C-alpha cells in the first residue's frame, strides 16, 4: 500500500500508537511529520525514520496553527494525541474534566479545523478515538465523554466534506499495549492492591480475545483509511476490539 508523494501529519507522535503510525507511514513511502509536546521523545522517534518533527500542543489554537505552518500542506492528518485518567465520578474534579476534554476532544477539533484549510485537493482526516467513544466504562467518565464527542465530530464533519474529496474517519481501539495503558495498569494496582500483572489482566479481560491490542493494528487501519481503496469510507468508526463493540 504505497503512499509515495503524500505528506502525513501525526499528532502525539512521540510514543505509543503515534510512534508506530510514523513508522508505518514512512515504510509506505510517505513523508511524515510528527508533533507533540516533548522534544526529546519526538527526536527519538523521528530521526531514525528520516521524518520531521514539530513541537506543538493540540489544546492551544495558536500552537496548532504554527504546527501546520511548519509541517507544510498535508494530505493525511491523523489526530492521535490524547491522554487518559481514571477516577469515580464523585471524586472527579473540574480540572480533571477540563483536561480530558481539552486534549482528547478540543485537540481533535483544532487539528481538523486547521487541516481543512490547508488541503491541496483530496484529503484524509483520521481520529484515533477509542471503544470508550462507542460504549461506557466505569471510572473514566471525562475520557469516555471526550471520545464520544470525537465520534460525533467525525460523523458530522464527514457529511460536511463528503463532496470535496475529503474523508473523515475514526479508529476505535480497545486497550492498546502502550505506555498509556501501562499508566492505567499502575493506577489500578495502586487503587486495588493488585500486582501489576493482576491489574493488567483486568484490562485484558475486557477484550473477548483476552488481550491488549497492538499499535501496529491501529497503523494498519490508518494505512487503509489513507489509501485510495478507502475513498468511499467516510464517517466510519473502525473498531479494533476483538468483538467487544
User: Is the distance from CB of 35 to CB of 103 less than 8 angstroms?
Assistant: no
Active site residues: 143
Give dist(CA 176, CA 171) in Å, integer: 12
User: Is the distance from CB of 16 to CB of 42 less than 8 angstroms?
Assistant: no
User: Is the distance from CB of 10 to CB of 25 less than 8 angstroms?
Assistant: yes
Q: What backbone torsions phi and psi does residue 98 show, to the nearest 5 degrees? A: -60, -40
Give dist(CA 19, CA 191) in Å, integer: 30
Instruction: Determine the angle formed by the axes of helices 196-204 and 179-192, rounding to 10 degrees.
Output: 110
Give dist(CA 131, CA 237) in Å, integer: 9
With cell 471503544, the residue in question is 131
For 169-184, b/e burial (b = at least 16 CB within 10 A) is: bbbbbbbbbbebbeeb
Amino acid at each position: 500500500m504505497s503512499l509515495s508523494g503524500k505528506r502525513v501529519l501525526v499528532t502525539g507522535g512521540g510514543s505509543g500508537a503515534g510512534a508506530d503510525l510514523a513508522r508505518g507511514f514512512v515504510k509506505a513511502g510517505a513523508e511524515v511529520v510528527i508533533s507533540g509536546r516533548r522534544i526529546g521523545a519526538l527526536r527519538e522517534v523521528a530521526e531514525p525514520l528520516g521524518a520531521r518533527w514539530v513541537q506543538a500542543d493540540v489544546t492551544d489554537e495558536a500552537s496548532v496553527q504554527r504546527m501546520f505552518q511548519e509541517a507544510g500542506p498535508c494530505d493525511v492528518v491523523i489526530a492521535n494525541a490524547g491522554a487518559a485518567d481514571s477516577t469515580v465520578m464523585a471524586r472527579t474534579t473540574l480540572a480533571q474534566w477540563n483536561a480530558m476534554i481539552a486534549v482528547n476532544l478540543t485537540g481533535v477539533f483544532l487539528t481538523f479545523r486547521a487541516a481543512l484549510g490547508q488541503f491541496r485537493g483530496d484529503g484524509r482526516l483520521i481520529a484515533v478515538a477509542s471503544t470508550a467513544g462507542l460504549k461506557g466504562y466505569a471510572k473514566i467518565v471525562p475520557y469516555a465523554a471526550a471520545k464520544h464527542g470525537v465520534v460525533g465530530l467525525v460523523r458530522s464533519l464527514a457529511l460536511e466534506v463528503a463532496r470535496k474529496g475529503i474523508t473523515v474517519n475514526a479508529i476505535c481501539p480497545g486497550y492498546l499495549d502502550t505506555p498509556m495503558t501501562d499508566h492505567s495498569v499502575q493506577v489500578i494496582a495502586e487503587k486495588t492492591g493488585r500486582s501489576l500483572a493482576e491489574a493488567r489482566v483486568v484490562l485484558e479481560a475486557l477484550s473477548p480475545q483476552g488481550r491488549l491490542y497492538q499499535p501496529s493494528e491501529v497503523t494498519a487501519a490508518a494505512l487503509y483509511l489513507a489509501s485510495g481503496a478507502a475513498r468511499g469510507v467516510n464517517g466510519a468508526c473502525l473498531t479494533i476490539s476483538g468483538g467487544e463493540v
